[in-house]
Structure 1
Amino acid sequence: MELNDLIAPEFYNLTSEIDRYDSDKIALRWENETGEKKSVTYHELIEKGKRFANVLTGLGINKGDRVMAIVPRIIDAYVIYLGALRAGIAVIPGSEMLRAADIAYRINQGEAKAIIAYRDYTAQVEQIKEPMPSLQHKICVGGAAEGWLSMNELIRGASEDFTTVETRRDDIAFLTYTSGTAGTPKGVVHNHGWAFAHLRIAPHRWLDIQEGDTVWATAGPGWQKWIWSPFLSILGLGVTGIVYQGRFHPAKQLQLLQDYKVNVLCCTPTEYRLMAKVDHLDRYDLSHLHTACSAGEALNSGVIDIFKKTFGIELKDGYGQTESTLLIGTMVDTEVRQGSMGQPILADFITIVDEEGHPVPEGVVGNIAVRRDFPALLRTYYHQPDRYKAAVIGDYFLTGDRASRDKDNYFWFHGRRDDVIISSGYTIGPVEVEDTLLKHAAVKDCAVVASPHPIRGNIVKAFVVLKDGYTGSQSLAKELQAFVKNETAPYKYPRELEFVTDLPKTVSGKIKRAALRDLEIRRAREKGIRV
């Protein structure tokens, strides 16, 4: 594939990709954990999106502005994105796990004019105490909340006649925030042209989505992976997507795969691990499934073997970032090499470089790097150009991960350049968890690292030094865990705490997280956990 094939026309709005499928074909089939079901056609979804575009512009939110959306796996999530993007308004995705401080940071740093939140999540917004000068409107989805506009009522009174705003390929479409792995979260700027490139890469070369497929990508709104797959890769190819709103349960997931005759599945390694442990796995009929992909962290070879033996399905790994799209993975019609990340999706743009930005020979460990002219790469970090420059060496943007490659250009992962923790597909910055723990009256010092786990891949482990007068106990550990849950997103809390008298540090006083990670790896191996 040539570079020009990935560059959008100068005037381009990504909703034009979905408009091509305006018909009575089912776009989404939705179900929740109580068994309630709904479906929506492409025509209905597009029409409702136009109504919402009129709602936003009627409120004075226009091209170039930004809105933040915090919604679960519901059909209205798609309506919000389609309406905003059609009006030339950029979307700031927000996970339902965000807390008041997280939300306020994104609204203020992203200069959002509106917050659009599901009824169950409005309380966190109401807890924000700090000023939010850019915020003009609060819109409640799926119900009513005092002091909030109702999305349902606004759409009901809106016209379905809306002419798509003329946007250029370089106009911002998404402002997605990273997980705060090194200080405050970074706002990743993706333009409409990014979507054009993404749609011509991942859905065909990795997910192998074919005409007429039913596709289930389990990522939730609020994450860049939702934009990748449930939103763009499904609607942008005119196929039918499955949306399940409910707590994950492996047997239920298998049942839904069977009932909806899913052809393409994309979910986290943790979901595959838990499905692999279900008793009598072979009682489920997954014969319609032709592609099963995984992203977020490495897949276990044992899980791959179980799915191959039981269903004849080869699980395909994939690697990408909020800053890009799928970069490396097991592509269509290529060999799966267990333990490998796969091959670059476009070899001309993705390589491994040394600290000076020069490509390294095969077998040499270096930095996974993306050529800066890759059209599916971020443009910058919003209002933080210095942080973008810090990730650039020469012609390459560094992903922050290290790998080597073999003679066939398969990449082999060798860890992070920094201390990021990946647990159950979530990316967690240790500094943020440490800062939260240090706010507790009992904590004198702490260090947070990844600890290997047989199901989650890794869990967040905290080594805690207590202040004088406090004694480590199970009740205090639970108190600290609850404290972190309440102060920041729940998925970031330390699932394990160990009280220690001191922490390993350098002569300059920096914590040696590598020493603690190595300790946890040794302990895991002693327990028989594969690392």
Structure 2
Amino acid sequence: MLGDVRKEDFKIVVPEYFNFGFDVVDKWAELDDKIALIWIDTDGKTYKTFRFSDLKRMSNRFANILIDRGYKKGDMLYVMVPRVPEWYAVMLGCFKVGVVPMPAPKILRPKDIYYRLEKSSAKGAVIYYNVLDKMMEVDTSKLLHKMVIGAEANGWENFEKAMNNVPDEIFMDKIEKTKTSDPLIIYFTSGTTDFPKMVLHDGGYAIGHQITARFWQDLKKDDIHWTLSDTGWGKAVWGKLFGQWFIGTTVVMYNAADAFDPKIHLDIIQNFKITTFCAPPTAYRMMILQDLSKYNFDNLRHSVSAGEPLNPSVYERWLEYTGNKIYDGYGQTETVNIIATTKDMEVKPGSMGKPAFGFEVDILDDDGNPLGIGEIGHIALKVKPNRPIGFFKGYYKDEEATKNSIHGDWYFTGDKAHKDKDGYFWFVGRADDVIKTSGYRVGPFEVESALQSHPAVAENAVIGVPDELRGTIIKAFVVLAPGFEPSDTLVSELQEHVKKETAPYKYPRKIEFVKSLPKTVSGKIRRTELREMEEMKLKQMNTDLFTP
């Protein structure tokens, strides 16, 4: 269903045969060849625009490369390409042929890359020149085809030369028609608690992201939408590809530097007249530390956030200067947007909203029983007897993990939350992040929100650490805002602040000031890594105590 559609008229249509490249991108090139993509280089000023017809030609060429190199429907291609236009040529070309792309972030280490290639039995790899050195450290002897963008290297085919030597049109008799049920894309989970799993989606995933774009992101055909995301994370297709181009929305891709620059991001919102914006809480937290009164937000009409809950203090400041409420949402690599605050709902800052259009989501106990108001349990998505649109096919080559994620008729997300009397969901943390201290169960987000409302705090993360007296106590890792310095006085001030903002037993008994926090590719704070650091410190202390 292409273009603008009223919510009351919207229906999910799942045909037997579907190909996002041909049926959406190429179709728009015929119906309305508008600007589909604005690509902005690292300086935040240099840019290029691409119409749907440009993307059609680019993807046709890459599809022809795949055909000529012997790729068939179902083959897997490792894709390590950053936020550059070539990423679209590769992804859309794969979809057209039925090759399954496996996007990966550039920050992976050689051993991570090798794991992914081995686990997937990838047929080939397409990479960008800035990760070539890493790839040279990896045993790629099992790959039948290797291609690099922007460089020449022994054993690697040059992308640009290959693209210049193939036609713009595809001979359809050379490819097998794709079904909606065919494999479409694989993303590896972040692996915060185990080795990464391969999340396999079919063509219904692309169709399902209409829910993400139409309702949570509130997109219209004439919008200019910008989602902050590395191409190696599933959020890229959430906000730069599938749902947006069903509608015909123009998307923005910014080739960001490794270090987040809030000023450049604010300049882009202003200068490129962004109308709808999606960013993780980390980005919002950094942007509100700037002087927002210097920027013009007249075109910005809708802001959303996901990844982890947004602190109310950040919400209030963004609203004050942009006039935009921030509509929180929730989903996973395994799903599309399944919980959201949408434009027709009251915003409750800190809540991720209610179940999204077409999904049944609830809070369940360990045995799969529904819980009452305010009771903390598993965020669960009903997947039987009818598998919902956009729900993953399973963890590829890991039947046990797939089986373990399903409890009766429900998929357990691994996240915990509670519902209020109005049916709004409130995130608590990962199932292994909830802190049990002095007989209480404390969600880290409650403490983090209280700390975040203090002017000295730019970012923070909270975990439970062992304590001889209480079993576990709360510890906070704090990144200070500009103009503040670590001190014992500030520690006491922050502790008293938390006691005033929330229940006294939730205050952090330990506070450590740090320069940065460990994060996943998607910007989520890796509390697992913080816990591991604390365990190592404790082991070292015990070793020192018993070393003569």
TM-score normalised by the shorter chain: which range applies? 0.7 to 0.9
Name 2:263's counterpart in structure 1: 251
State the aligned residue count. 450
SS of equivalent to 1:500: helix
Residue by residue over 1:152-195, the C-alpha shift from the partner in whole angstroms, topping out at 9 and shown as x without a partner, is: 11111111121374111111011110011332110001001121
Structure 1's 452 and 332: CA in aligned 2 closer, same or farther, altered over 3 A? farther
Contact 1:327 1:350 in 2 (8 A): yes
**CA shift digits 1:457-482 (9 cap, x unpaired):** xxxxxxxxxxxxxxxxxxxxx9xx9x
* Residue 269 in structure 1 maps to residue 281 in structure 2: yes
Secondary structure at 1:415's aligned position in 2? strand
Q: Deviations over 1:365-405 (max 9, x none)?
A: 21100112112111110000100111111001100011111
2:28 matched residue in structure 1: 21
Aligned to 2:388: 374
Which consecutive segments of 4 or more residues in structure 1 shift more than 4 A? Answer: 419-423, 449-452, 491-499
> What 5-or-longer segments of structure 2 have no aligned partner?
1-6, 435-443, 449-460, 464-473, 482-513, 543-548
Confirm whether residue 9 of structure 1 aligns to residue 9 of structure 2. no
Structure 1 residue 238 corresponds to structure 2 residue 248 = yes
Instruction: Decide which of 343, 357, 361 is 1:350's aligned counterpart.
Output: 361
| Contact residue 238 and residue 336 of structure 2 kept, 8 A | yes
Matched, 1:42 2:56: no
Q: Is the 8 A contact 1:329 1:344 kept in 2?
A: yes
Is the CA contact (8 Å cut-off) linking 2:207 and 2:242 kept in structure 1? Answer: no
Say whether 1:60 aligns with 2:70: yes
Q: 1:47 Cα shift?
A: 1.1
Of 293-302 and 159-168, deviating more is: 159-168
Q: How big is each residue's C-alpha offset from its partner over 1:59-100, in whole Å with a ceiling of 9 and x where there is no partner?
A: 011111010111111111111000001001111010011111
Counterpart amino acid of 1:14? F
Q: Is the 8 A contact 1:352 1:369 kept in 2?
A: yes
Give the Cα–Cα distance (whole angstroms) in 1 for the partners of residues 222 and 268 of structure 2: 18
Q: Note the alpha carbon deviations across 1:99-145, whole angstroms, 9 max, x for none.
A: 1111111111111111100001111111014x653x11111113333
Alignment check: 8 A CA contact 1:7 1:197 kept: no
State the one-letter code of the partner of 1:10.
Answer: E
Deviation sequence 1:293-330 (CA, Å, 0-9, x none) = 11111111111111111121101111111010112121
- Return closer, same or farther for 1:366/1:495 CA change in 2, 3 Å cut-off: closer
Provide closer, same or farther for how the CA distance between residues 504 and 387 of structure 1 changes in structure 2, counting only shifts above 3 A. Answer: farther
How far, CA to CA, are the matches of 1:73 and 1:67 in structure 2? Answer: 18
Which residue type is aligned with residue 222 of structure 2?
G
Give distance in 2, aligned partners of 1:386 and 1:189. 15
1:391 and 2:405 are equivalent in the alignment: yes
TM-score by length of 2: 0.76
Matched residue SS, 1:318: strand
Within the alignment, does 1:158 sit opposite 2:136 as a pair? no
Matched, 1:500 2:540: no
In 1, Cα distance between equivalents of 2:368 and 2:262: 43
Alignment match of 1:288 (pick from 295, 299, 305): 299
For the 8 Å contact 1:18–1:237, the answer to whether it is kept is: no
Instruction: Letter of the 1:103 partner, please give it.
Output: I
Counterpart mapping for 1:2-401 below 5 A: 5-6=11-12, 8-15=14-21, 16-22=23-29, 23-34=32-43, 35-129=45-139, 133=142, 135-162=143-170, 163=172, 165-199=176-210, 201-247=211-257, 248-279=260-291, 281-346=292-357, 348-372=359-383, 373-401=387-415
1:442-463 deviation line (CA, Å, top 9, x unaligned):
xxxxxxx99544589xxxxxxx
Q: Which amino acid aligns with 1:271?
A: A
Question: Structure 2 counterpart of 1:291, which letter?
Answer: H
Q: Which amino acid aligns with 1:396?
A: W
C-alpha distance in structure 2 between counterparts of 1:388 and 1:452, whole Å = 34
Following the alignment from structure 1 to structure 2, what is the Cα–Cα distance between the partners of residues 417 and 88?
36
Partner of 1:464: none
Amino acid in the other structure paired with 1:224? G
Q: Which stretch of the first structure deviates more once superposed, 389-398 or 237-246?
A: 237-246
SS of residue paired to 2:222? coil
Shift of 1:357: 1.6
Question: Retained in 2: the 8 A contact 1:104–1:132?
Answer: no
Percent identity between the two aligned chains: 32
Contact 1:55 1:155 in 2 (8 A): yes
Q: Where does residue 524 of structure 1 map in the other structure? A: none
- Secondary structure of the residue aligned to 2:254 is strand
SS in 1 for 2:379: strand
Task: Determine the C-alpha separation between the residues in 1 that align with 2:109 and 2:475.
Answer: 23
8 Å CA contact 1:110–1:175 kept in 2: the answer is: no
1:108/1:132 contact within 8 Å kept: no
The answer (yes or no) to whether the contact 1:267–1:294 under 8 Å persists in 2 is: yes
Q: Which amino acid aligns with 1:305?
A: E
Q: Distance in 2 between matches of 1:14 and 1:33?
A: 29
CA RMSD after TM alignment: 3.2
Q: SS at the partner of 2:357?
A: coil
Q: 1:412 to 1:179 in 2, by over 3 A?
A: same
8 Å contact 2:58–2:89 — kept in the other structure?
Answer: yes
